[in-house]
Amino acid sequence: MEILICMKQTFDTEEKIFIQNGEIDDDGVERIINPYCEYAVEEGIRIKEAHGGTVRLITIGGAEAEAAIRTAMAMGVDEGYRLDLTDFPADSDEQTTSECIVQLIKQKQIPYDVILCGYMSIDNGTAQVGPRIAELLGIPHISTITSLTVDGRQVQVERDVEGDLEKVESSLPILLTAQQGLNEPRYPRLPDIMKAKRKPLHRMKWDELRVDVQMIQARTKKVAILPVEEKETGQILSGTIKEQSQELIRLLHEEAKVL
Amino acid sequence: MGTANNVLIFADIRNGTLRQVTFEAISVAHQMANGGEVHLAILESLDPNQIESLKQLKLDRMWHVDHPLLKTFNLDAYVETWVHLIDLLNPDVILTGHTALGRDVSPRVAARKRIGLLSDCIKLDTSSTYEFVFTRPIYAGKAYVQRTITKPPFFVTLRPNNFVAHFDTSLDQSIEIKTFHPNLSQISLRTVVTDVVRKVTSGVDLSEANVIVAGGRGVKSKEGFAPLEELAVVLGGAVGASRGACDAGYADYALQIGQTGKVVTPDLYIACGISGAIQHLAGMSMSKTIVAINIDPEAPIFEVADYGIVGDLFEVVPLLTKEWQRINR
Ligand SMILES: Cc1cc2nc3c(=O)[nH]c(=O)nc-3n(C[C@H](O)[C@H](O)[C@H](O)COP(=O)(O)OP(=O)(O)OC[C@H]3O[C@@H](n4cnc5c(N)ncnc54)[C@H](O)[C@@H]3O)c2cc1C
């Protein structure tokens, strides 16, 4: 089984967000594997453990992303590709990243029966890249999966559709996006962390890809990044519980006017 | 403002009726059309009564897409049909909800047509420099990005409950409903839905509710949700839950609010026994007014709350129900 994971590194979930000169300030932030991608990594490794094969991984990112790739390797990923779009000479958006990933797959002839992605990233959160890659490769996708069974070339999936559970069948090759609930990602063990350092990691810059910049550049453009307005500190009510409850209803009715 | 834009909306349907986000898309479409035409495409079967009422909506045309393969959701059939309609109508702007449907179909269509897609938008501005600027939350709602589109056509998905809905069915002239028969004979359906286990019990769609009473692990049991349900009923709202409550089996996953669950923007959100983890906040922090009820004064939920009561939810919630009933008598 040829398993390919598209993984993103993100800020740690708990990081506070600061804006510097109109950009998100990334100075000194803790970075993690995007949690939804972590489910994808874990599931890829489990498929290999059950069926044999190779788990490969692609990450778009600068040198800092290698920490995430090494963590995934310590979990069990065999081989990694880091694609650096840092000096891409035009604006990039989800179209750019998905086209570049697909071009990398084609150019390096990375084999795949199953491609696993996180269903969304916790930074940009558009949930576009997985389905876009599937479309560009001409393969089906199933999103927000919470359970996966691979049986020969057949796949059976349970997915979360706004809380409803949908059972879907398909066959390989396929792209799947991971939702919370799919699995519990493992913690890498120390010997595996050591071994991960020696696993093959290929680095590529965007200009090594045979892509037409005009064609894959962003169709959307950033205008501004804005902070979330500081909310005034809320009002903690006081008095007996009964008084507080009466006061709350009065405030919601008369002050906030939401009742 | 630029020239007239033709706008195509893909409807989102649940249980035979249009979801509110589709009406919200209609009002956004009118803001963007600037004299251009607004078309609405409906792929699933609608309740015949609703079709009649829709005839009075302010639209230039409604497309009823009829094909046996579209009776239930199938990704390949949907992608193909959306692409057919876009090719036929050549819209400048395509709108749909940022719902399970929109999230699944729009990126594939955008990739196929190589068009820009702005997902999960909560606000539209028209400025002098750019024709349209959309705002969307990033970093789990800890910041916003404003983005525009460099060239038409382009696709936008709208977060439910963030735009004023257009419900005006007062037009005296009824619009034309055209039936569109897509040619789907060439496509193979590569994914097949074999079963849908519906978890949504009540009629209220959480993402459209104006008032939400949500419970967390602090509710302590399934039965513990009863007082929350009573409060929701008297306030005319819906019940939601945290992941903690769902994982513990107190509430169904269909009620989950947050990054992995539903993203909601009600006028009033009452969080009972919810600590306020960032993944939960990602799903509700844009609510207009937030109330937190928690025994722990240090709980992070108080940081986003407009009003807080430090106390036992089992004491507070029934008192709120009583008080609202008393002043409404
Ligand atoms: C990738 C990922 C995605 C996630 N997605 C989501 C998501 O979509 N939605 C979500 O909610 N979570 C999500 N989580 C989980 C999240 O991190 C928290 O674990 C979860 O929100 C906690 O739920 P809780 O607040 O109900 O429970 P707890 O954190 O256990 O909080 C319970 C609260 O109840 C209070 N309490 C106890 N008894 C009472 C009482 N009698 N009266 C009043 N208060 C009381 C306590 O003081 C406490 O603050 C996600 C996590 C991950 C890793």
Q: What is the pLDDT of residue B129?
A: 76
Query: Do the chains contact at A223 and B148, CB–CB below 8 Å?
Result: yes
Q: Looking up tokens 């874990």, which residue turns up? A: A42
Which of A250, A257, A258 to mutate to test binding with chain B, by most B CBs within 10 Å of its CB?
A258
Q: What is the CATH number of domain A2-216?
A: 3.40.50.620
Q: How far apart are CA B30 and CA B52, in angstroms?
A: 21
| Residues contacting B105, CB < 8 A, separation 6+ | B10, B75, B78, B79, B82, B96
What are the two backbone dihedrals, phi and then psi, of residue A117, each rounded to the nearest 5 degrees? -130, 160
Which of A102, A53, A105, A101 is CA-nearest to residue A76? Answer: A53
| Residues contacting A151, CB < 8 A, separation 6+ | none
Across the interface, of A94, A168, A249, the residue whose CB is closest to B320 is: A249
Q: Is the CB of B300 under 6 A from ligand 1?
A: no
Domain range summary for chain A, segments of one domain joined by +: 2-216, 232-259
Q: Which part of chain B has CATH 3.40.50.1220?
A: 206-327
Query: Do the chains contact at B107 and A160, CB–CB below 8 Å?
Result: no
Would you say B14 is a known binding-site residue?
A: no
Q: What is the CATH number of domain B206-327?
A: 3.40.50.1220
Q: What is the pLDDT of residue A51?
A: 97
Name the band, by pLDDT with cuts 50, 70 and 90, for residue A95. Answer: very high
Is pLDDT at B44 greater than 90 in this prediction?
no
Q: Which residues of A touch B312 (CB under 8 A)?
A: 241
Nearest residue (by CA) to ligand 1, atom 51, is: B279
Query: Do the chains contact at B197 and A166, CB–CB below 8 Å?
Result: yes
CA distances from A8 to A47, A65, A105, A125, A141 (A): 20, 8, 16, 12, 19
Q: What is the pLDDT of residue B1?
A: 46
Query: B37 or B131: whose pLDDT is higher?
Result: B37
The whole-model pTM stands at 0.96
| 3-state SS class at B286 | coil
Q: Which residues of A touch B232 (CB under 8 A)?
A: none
Q: What is the pLDDT of residue B170?
A: 65
Query: Do the chains contact at B197 and A253, CB–CB below 8 Å?
Result: no
Q: How far apart are CA B109 and CA B293, in angstroms?
A: 44
Q: Is the CB of B294 under 6 A from ligand 1?
A: yes
Q: What is the pLDDT of residue A232?
A: 83
Q: What is the pLDDT of residue B14?
A: 86
What is the average pLDDT across A71-96? 96
Reported as a single tens digit per residue, the pLDDT across A106-134 is 999 999 999 999 999 999 999 999 999 99
Q: What is the pLDDT of residue B203?
A: 64
Q: Which residues of A touch B82 (CB under 8 A)?
A: none
What is the average pLDDT across A222-247? 94
What is the average pLDDT across B126-151? 91
Residue A57 near residue A3, CB atoms below 8 Å: no
Q: How far apart are CA B207 and CA B20, in angstroms?
A: 9
What is the average pLDDT across B281-310? 97
Would you say B243 is a known binding-site residue?
A: yes
Q: What is the pLDDT of residue B169?
A: 65
Across the interface, of A14, A163, A246, the residue whose CB is closest to B323 is: A246
Q: Which residues of B touch A16 (CB under 8 A)?
A: 142
Nearest residue (by CA) to ligand 1, atom 52, is: B279
What is the average pLDDT across A174-194? 97
Query: Do the chains contact at A166 and B196, CB–CB below 8 Å?
Result: yes
Query: Which ipTM value was assigned to this complex?
Result: 0.96
Q: What is the pLDDT of residue B47?
A: 78
Would you say B146 is a known binding-site residue?
A: no
Q: Which residues of B touch A241 (CB under 8 A)?
A: 309, 311-312, 315-316, 319
Comparing alpha-carbon positions, the chain B residue that sits nearest to A251 is B307
Least trusted range by pLDDT, from A241-245, B45-49, B103-107, B178-182 = B45-49
Ligand 1 pocket test target in B243, B272, B314, B320 with most atoms within 8 Å of CB: B243
Per mean pLDDT, which of A115-119, B181-185, B202-206 is the most reliable?
A115-119
Q: What is the pLDDT of residue A2?
A: 98
Q: What is the pLDDT of residue B127?
A: 72
Q: Which residues of A201-230 are buried (b: 16+ CB within 10 A; e: fewer)?
A: beebebeebebeeeebbbbbeebebeebee
Query: Do the chains contact at B117 and A228, CB–CB below 8 Å?
Result: no
Distance from CA of B281 to the nearest CA of A (A): 12
Reported as a single tens digit per residue, the pLDDT across B67-86 is 989 888 899 999 999 999 99
Q: What is the mean pLDDT of chain A?
A: 97
What is the average pLDDT across A135-144? 98
Residue B255 near residue B239, CB atoms below 8 Å: yes
Is pLDDT at B174 greater than 80 in this prediction?
no
Across the interface, of A168, A219, A259, the residue whose CB is closest to B116 is: A219
**Exposed / middle / buried, residue A151 (Cβ in 10 Å: 0-12, 13-18, 19+):** exposed
Fold of B6-188: Rossmann fold (3.40.50)
| 3-state SS class at A113 | coil
CB contacts < 8 A, A to B, total: 253
Q: What is the pLDDT of residue B51?
A: 79
**Exposed / middle / buried, residue A189 (Cβ in 10 Å: 0-12, 13-18, 19+):** exposed
Q: Is the CB of B224 under 6 A from ligand 1?
A: no
Atom of ligand 1 nearest to the CA of A36: 1
What are the two backbone dihedrals, phi and then psi, of residue A72, each rounded to the nearest 5 degrees? -60, -35
Q: Is the CB of B217 under 6 A from ligand 1?
A: yes
Nearest residue (by CA) to ligand 1, atom 22, is: B244
Distance from CA of B251 to the nearest CA of A (A): 11
| 3-state SS class at B53 | helix
Nearest residue (by CA) to ligand 1, atom 6, is: B279
Is pLDDT at B57 greater than 70 in this prediction?
yes
Name the band, by pLDDT with cuts 50, 70 and 90, for residue B172. Answer: low
Would you say B257 is a known binding-site residue?
A: yes
Nearest residue (by CA) to ligand 1, atom 4, is: B279
Which of B73, B99, B108, B205 to mutate to test binding with chain A, by most A CBs within 10 Å of its CB?
B108
Atom of ligand 1 nearest to the CA of B216: 26
What is the average pLDDT across B29-51? 88
Q: Which residues of B touch A137 (CB under 8 A)?
A: none
B244 CA from centroid of ligand 1 (Å): 5
Q: Which residues of B touch A224 (CB under 8 A)?
A: 145-146
Q: What is the pLDDT of residue A170?
A: 98
Is pLDDT at B2 greater than 70 in this prediction?
no
Q: Is the CB of B42 under 6 A from ligand 1?
A: no
Residue B165 near residue B23, CB atoms below 8 Å: yes
Would you say B256 is a known binding-site residue?
A: yes
What is the average pLDDT across B174-180? 86
For residue A44 the two structure tokens come to 């890829």
